[in-house]
Amino acid sequence: MTRKVILRRLNVKRIIIRRMENLLYCVNSLWSHLFSCCVGKSSVRYKQLLPSTIPRSLSPPPATYPSRGTSGASCGCEHHNDSSDLVALKISLLGDCQIGKTSFLAKYTGREKSKELQEVMGLTHMDKTLCVKGARIAYTIWEVEGNDNQKQLPVACKDSVAILFMFDLTSRCTLNSVIRWYQEARKWNQSAIPVLVGTKFDDFVQLPIDLQWTIANQARTYAKALNATLFFSSSTYNINVNKIFKFITAKIFNLPWSVERNLTIGEPIIDF
């Protein structure tokens, strides 16, 4: 199979995925209720509230926390400077270096790689605000850089509602490292929703099919061990990037929306 054929198939799949995501987003936007959350010690519980009863946002990370850059996406809501309708949620990205975490984060927040994205003390955080029926959900997404910055895990993981454990689909050693990242992260956060994310799917599909099968099955085994949902993604082609965060939002707020399971080798796997 030539690269041109592979890329053409990826483009078709990307168009289908985007249309499905847009449809699901429209359905979710019809919900007239808003949600606020409170994190329990042993589990994450959320309560559905009417728009008039939305609490003030959770306290954002202190300004003294190090970051490589922020991206405050405008949600287009009226009175967007009023924080009374803002729900702030924290998500963490963990995994080995050079697996595409920064590209993944930049793709979701709409921020391109630039000189502003320079490492500061091994931590990055970027923001993205979503608007739903006049209320705002503000995600603060934290990324831990590299393999030698696990000392930053307490800052990155504390109060996170979800943790993405990420690996490079073309590098099995980064998949093996996921267990270590998971064990360390759970020392600081017992309640966050775990999500296992394989990156660089566009490179992965060019591997021999038997190797794809081996890696996919190992990833599925790890996901079950971590009680995590598994997504294969590509930042280059925007495959499953937005869908992962929509899945997290649905889980956090107990929305009646679910992704379709896909276990077909050669396609972006979703397993739960």
- Kindly state the average pLDDT of the residues 86-96: 90
Residue 31 C-beta-side C-alpha neighbours within 13 Å: 21
**How does DSSP classify residue 100?**
S
Partners of 138 in the β-ladder: 88, 129
At residue 23, does pLDDT exceed 80? no
Cα 96 to its chain centre, rounded Å, is 16
Helix, strand, coil percentages, rounded to 5, for the chain: 35, 25, 40
Count CB-CB contacts under 10 A for residue 112. 11
Partners of 231 in the β-ladder: 197, 270
SS3 at position 266: coil
At residue 101, does pLDDT exceed 60? yes
At residue 213, does pLDDT exceed 80? yes
**For residue 6, what pLDDT is reported?**
61
- Kindly state the average pLDDT of the residues 133-150: 75
Looking only at the bridges linking them, the beta strands covering 123-132 and 135-144 are antiparallel
Mean pLDDT over all residues of the chain? 74
At residue 116, does pLDDT exceed 60? no
**For residue 233, what pLDDT is reported?**
96
Greater model confidence, 110 or 224: 224
Greater model confidence, 110 or 102: 102
Confidence of residue 255 (pLDDT cuts 50, 70, 90): confident
Confidence of residue 144 (pLDDT cuts 50, 70, 90): confident
Confidence of residue 259 (pLDDT cuts 50, 70, 90): confident
